[in-house]
Amino acid sequence: MNLHELYADLLDGPLNILMSKEEILRTIETPKFSHQGDLSFPCFQLAKKKKQSPAAIANELAGSLDSPYLLKAEAAGPYVNIFFKGNETGKEIMADILSKGDEFGTHSFGDGKVITIDMSSPNIAKPFSMGHLRSTVIGNSIALLAEKCGFETVKINYIGDWGTQFGKLITAYKKWGDEEKVKANPIPELFSLYKKFHEEAESSPALNDEGRRAFKLLEDGDPEMVELWTWFKKESLSAFEEIYELLGVSFDSYHGESFYNDKMEAAVELIKEKGLLETSDGAEVVWLDDKGLPPSLIKKSDGATLYATRDIAAALYRKKTYDFSQALYVVGQEQTIHFRQVIGVLEKLGMSWAGQMIHIPFGLFLQHGKKMSTRKGRVVLLEEVLKEAIAIAHTNIKQKNPNLENAEETARWVGTGAVIFHDLKNDRMNDIEFSLHDMLTFEGETGPYVQYTHARAHSILRKAASSQQTEFSGLKDPESWELIKILNKYPEAVQDAYLNYSPSIIAKYLLAVSKAFNKYYGKTRILEENEELPSRLLLVKTVTNTLSDGLGLLGIQAPKQM
Ligand code: ARG
């Protein structure tokens, strides 16, 4: 049973011809305060239809509602506020949740359709940035949500391993590089060579031409270039792998930009055949002014391909390979124009599925209000942040629970949980001011707070003599009713989070469950022996299941003890 549905059914009778049940469902609100009722129905829309005042309608409606679950219905100005009988209604809701077991919150509307998720996609020979962290954790959570809704997902790490910058890097390495140093410290060493290249190129611009030539050689398969590039790539991937391991994220494909090197010519041919390729300033472009966009650059004057060319080739390949129903791109909002161009070119090519490509943008991590820049050194190394978070978690555990088994693993879960939750609780479009302190506090609205609540609920279950309860026979206190009402909303939260590509909906939901549970815990002697004990334990069990399932959807582990 779903409370919204229940209320909509009640209203459906009197409102029969005036509003459809869907409209009623959309109109019902959850009041801010519990003294305003469990649910509320505003009568403004009806007022227009019936040409009566909203308050008069609310009054009349309130008097006409009747159900065994209804405690009372009150008109409050233009609203009809209703109060359910917590005990009886709670019993129904809990029976429903318990009958679903592990499937609680699961949907089937995905119907096994395939969704590709382009996510993480860091650039080799550069540090893994906070922006890539956002793409990784948001993308991972969207994938988990999609699976919970019945889709099949393909997580693609589209590694940035191709482009002029690698010509520059190779040039820099050949001029100033030291094999031993790179081996000892690959990413920082390669990255500083890359930075040096840019510094030097300011005074000797001819370097840029050298870099471009080197990339052209690489594209054409020059063995020396390919060997260096392969080495840089291998070193970078193994450094990234450490981060994915810490975050607990895995991928179904690592086909990066270079994978499309031999697939671009066909894409360019296709564009040519359709008569879309035009020369502009020596380069070849597709004009998109009819879509209000700058032209998409397909080939440079020296014949080298570009970022857009590769994304077009990759989209064609992915459609053919996976026959996706949606292709999601979890990439920062600064690439919005790029994706509109790529989709625009595919539309012009007559690809009816171009509309299934969806760019899912997100805001920046800021430092003192400014964008973090790898080039200018305003960058925080994710790996250090994660390790710091894990170390703090470890210290906490040693103080609070010195005998905890697998303390090491728990610390890793809590530390990374803190970092992931810190990101996902924000609406993804918001910029986040980077603060190690905020990221690493475990109190307040944080991942560890939710994890801790989950562990606390588990410890109650451990203390209970017998935990094999099956029948929920009802609870009378108001705190359990508040908690049950929130638990009842889990399936809706999952669906909304997926449909809006918004893991923050789940993060906020879990905070609400945690707060309601902690309030219940503070007010109730949960383990007291009386006839309500089995019901209380079942409620606690449902809390642990929902918290761990929800954390799981964010890509966060829920340790049973911490
Ligand atoms: N490597 C790119 C970057 O770091 C992100 C790639 C995003 N995905 C894509 N299909 N373009 O900016």
Q: Give the number of the atom of ligand 1 that is nearest the alpha carbon of residue 131.
A: 4
pLDDT digits (tens, 9 = 90+) for 76-126: 999 999 999 999 999 999 999 999 999 999 999 999 999 999 999 999 988
d(CA 85, CA 70): 6
CA–centroid distance, 158 to ligand 1, in Å, is: 7
276 pLDDT exceeds 60? Answer: yes
- Cα 320 to ligand 1 centroid, rounded to whole Å: 21
Q: How far is the CA of 284 from the centre of ligand 1 (A)?
A: 22
Q: Is the pLDDT of residue 380 over 80?
A: no
339 close to ligand 1 (CB < 6 Angstrom): no
Q: Is pLDDT of 468 > 70? A: no
pLDDT at 15: 83
pLDDT digits (tens, 9 = 90+) for 313-341: 999 999 999 999 999 999 999 999 999 99
Distance 159 CA to ligand 1 centre (A): 7
pLDDT tens figures, 486-544: 999 999 999 999 999 999 999 999 999 999 999 999 999 999 989 999 999 999 999 99
Atom in ligand 1 nearest the alpha carbon of residue 307: 11
State residue 229's pLDDT score: 96
pLDDT of residue 375: 55
pLDDT value of residue 365: 86
Mean pLDDT, residues 132-160: 97
158 pocket-lining for ligand 1 (C-beta < 6 Å): yes
Residue located via tokens 């790898």: 374
Q: What are the CB-based long-range contacts (under 8 Å, 24+) for 333-339?
A: 333/361, 333/362, 333/363, 333/364, 333/429, 334/364, 335/359, 335/361, 336/361, 337/293, 337/294, 338/307, 338/308, 338/311, 339/311
User: Both tokens of residue 313?
Assistant: 């080739």
Percent of the chain with pLDDT over 90: 82
Is the sign of the CA dihedral 469, 472, 473, 479 positive or negative?
A: positive
210 ligand 1 Cβ < 6 A: no
Residue pLDDT, tens place only, 227-260: 999 999 999 999 999 999 999 999 999 999 999 9
Decide whether any atom of ligand 1 lies within 6 Å of the 135 Cβ: no
Sign of CA dihedral 436, 442, 448, 449: negative
Q: Out of 23-37, 379-393, 405-419, pick the least confident.
A: 379-393
Alpha carbon distances (Å) from 152 to 322, 353, 531: 10, 18, 45
Residue 346 neighbours by CB under 8 Å, 6+ apart? 312, 315, 316, 354, 357
Distance 364 CA to ligand 1 centre (A): 15
Domains located in the chain, CATH noted? 3-84 (3.30.1360.70), 161-248 (no CATH), 421-553 (1.10.730.10)
Question: Per-residue pLDDT for 220 more than 60?
Answer: yes
- Residue 559's SS3 state is coil
Give residue 482's pLDDT: 95
For residue 60, give the amino acid letter.
Answer: E
Of 125-129, 416-420, 456-460, minimum mean pLDDT range: 125-129
Per residue in 229-259, is it b (16+ CB within 10 Å) or e — as a string? Answer: bebbbebbbebbeebbebbebebebebbbbb
DSSP classification of residue 71: E
User: Which residues does 144 contact at the CB level (< 8 Å), separation at least 6?
Assistant: 552, 553, 554, 555
Question: 64 in helix, strand or coil?
Answer: helix
| Spatial separation of the C-alpha atoms in residues 439 and 422, rounded to whole Å | 6
Ligand 1: does its nearest atom lie under 6 Å from the Cβ of 331?
Answer: yes
| CB of 329 shorter than 6 A to ligand 1 | yes
160 lines ligand 1 (CB under 6 A): yes
CA of 274 to the centre of ligand 1 (A): 27
What are the residues whose beta carbons fall under 8 Å from the beta carbon of 418, sequence distance 6 or more?
389, 393, 439, 440, 441, 442, 446, 447, 448
- Better-predicted residue by pLDDT, 331 or 21: 331
Query: Over the Cα atoms of the chain, what is R_g?
Result: 28
Rounded to the nearest angstrom, the distance between the alpha carbon of 304 and the centre of ligand 1 is: 18
Give the whole-angstrom CA distance, residue 405 versus residue 448.
18
123 three-state secondary structure: strand
The amino acid sitting at 255 is: H
Question: Which residues fall within 8 angstroms of residue 1, CB to CB, at 6 or more apart?
Answer: 89, 92, 93, 96, 488
Is 256 touching ligand 1 by the criterion CB < 6 Å? no
Encode pLDDT of 341-377 as tens digits: 999 999 999 999 999 999 999 999 887 888 776 555 5
Q: Average the pLDDT over 60-83 and give the result.
A: 94
**Is the C-beta atom of 118 inside 6 A of ligand 1?**
yes
Mean local confidence (pLDDT), 207-228: 93
Name the closest-CA residue to atom 5, ligand 1: 121
Say how many Å lie between the CA of residue 160 and the centre of ligand 1.
Answer: 6
* 365 phi and psi angles, rounded to 5 deg: -85, 125
Q: What is the pTM of this model?
A: 0.94
Is the pLDDT at 14 greater than 90? The verdict is no
* pLDDT value at 288 more than 90: yes
Q: Tell me which of 117-131, 158-172, 434-448 is least confident.
A: 434-448
